[in-house]
């Protein structure tokens, strides 16, 4: 699956400036302007919290902002194409996969609480991620051409050494063929998506207001 990274849905409305509300805390502010749209600080923070949940750590604010810009590009094209949203069943399966990535249910709940997320937050993140990854899959999978020689090379250079490193007997090439082919297809999708995003960024007007961190 293309690593678009993790996605944040649109944030709340921008709060009034501090000069107009000197006695109140600023709820949100703009992290970047992209075309006629904005990416808010709340979106950067929300993606950071989700990364903390699934990875145990988060990227810098500048890196997260770059991910959100890429996601904006993908989402804009998907919405223009009227690409369908993932089903409730697919989203539920995605949430279940996140939970099962932890050694125990208690660990998932503890990490979720530590990251400041609730079940709705996680579900929304998963749904948005699926929307983007499904779109990229549909866009680039048809042009992913896998040579049989590539499958054999992957088997020799990746599958066998990994099994040996774990002290296990490697599966046969025939048994691993479908898995290897899908891994190579996903790699092709990633490479195509990266090239497309690099080209798309050059055509999109972006003004960033985040450098290395957001106070």
- The pTM (predicted TM-score) of the whole model is 0.80
> 96 with 126: CB under 8 angstroms?
no
Tell whether 190 is covered by a domain: yes
Read off the DSSP letter of residue 155.
Answer: I
* pLDDT tens for each residue of 106-157: 999 999 999 999 999 999 999 999 999 999 999 999 999 999 999 999 999 9
Q: Is 210 helix (H, G, I), strand (E, B) or coil?
A: coil
- CA 24/CA 18 separation, integer angstroms: 7
Helices 119-140, 173-203: inter-axial angle, 10-degree rounding: 90
* pLDDT tens for each residue of 36-89: 999 999 999 999 999 999 999 999 999 999 999 999 999 999 999 999 999 999
- CA 214/CA 11 separation, integer angstroms: 16
Residue 176 lies in domain: 144-203
Is there a single domain that holds both residue 148 and residue 137? no
Is there a single domain that holds both residue 122 and residue 161? no
Pair of tokens at residue 13 = 């409305």
Is there a single domain that holds both residue 19 and residue 115? yes
Q: Structural domain tally of the chain?
A: 2
Is there a single domain that holds both residue 168 and residue 64? no
Tell whether 150 is covered by a domain: yes
CATH of the domain at 79: 1.10.4030.10
Q: Is the dihedral of CA 64, 65, 70, 76 positive or negative?
A: positive
Tell whether 71 is covered by a domain: yes
């Amino acid at each position: 699956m293309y690593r678009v990274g993790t996605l944040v849905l649109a944030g709340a409305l921008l709060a009034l400036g501090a000069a107009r509300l000197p006695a109140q805390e600023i709820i949100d502010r703009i992290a970047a302007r992209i075309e006629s749209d904005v990416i808010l600080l709340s979106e950067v923070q929300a993606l950071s919290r989700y990364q903390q949940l699934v990875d145990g750590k988060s990227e810098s604010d500048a890196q997260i902002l770059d991910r959100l810009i890429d996601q904006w590009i993908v989402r804009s094209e998907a919405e223009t194409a009227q690409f369908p949203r993932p089903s409730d069943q697919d989203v539920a399966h995605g949430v279940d996969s996140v939970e099962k990535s932890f050694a125990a249910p208690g660990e998932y709940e503890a990490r979720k609480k530590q990251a400041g997320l609730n079940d709705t937050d996680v579900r929304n993140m998963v749904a948005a991620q699926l929307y983007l990854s499904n779109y990229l899959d549909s866009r680039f999978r048809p042009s992913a051409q896998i040579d049989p020689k590539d499958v054999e090379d992957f088997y020799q250079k990746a599958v066998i050494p990994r099994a040996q490193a774990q002290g296990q007997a490697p599966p046969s090439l025939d048994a691993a063929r479908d898995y290897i082919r899908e891994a190579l297809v996903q790699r092709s999708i990633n490479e195509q998506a990266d090239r497309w995003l690099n080209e798309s960024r050059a055509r999109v007007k972006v003004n960033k207001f985040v450098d290395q961190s957001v106070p």
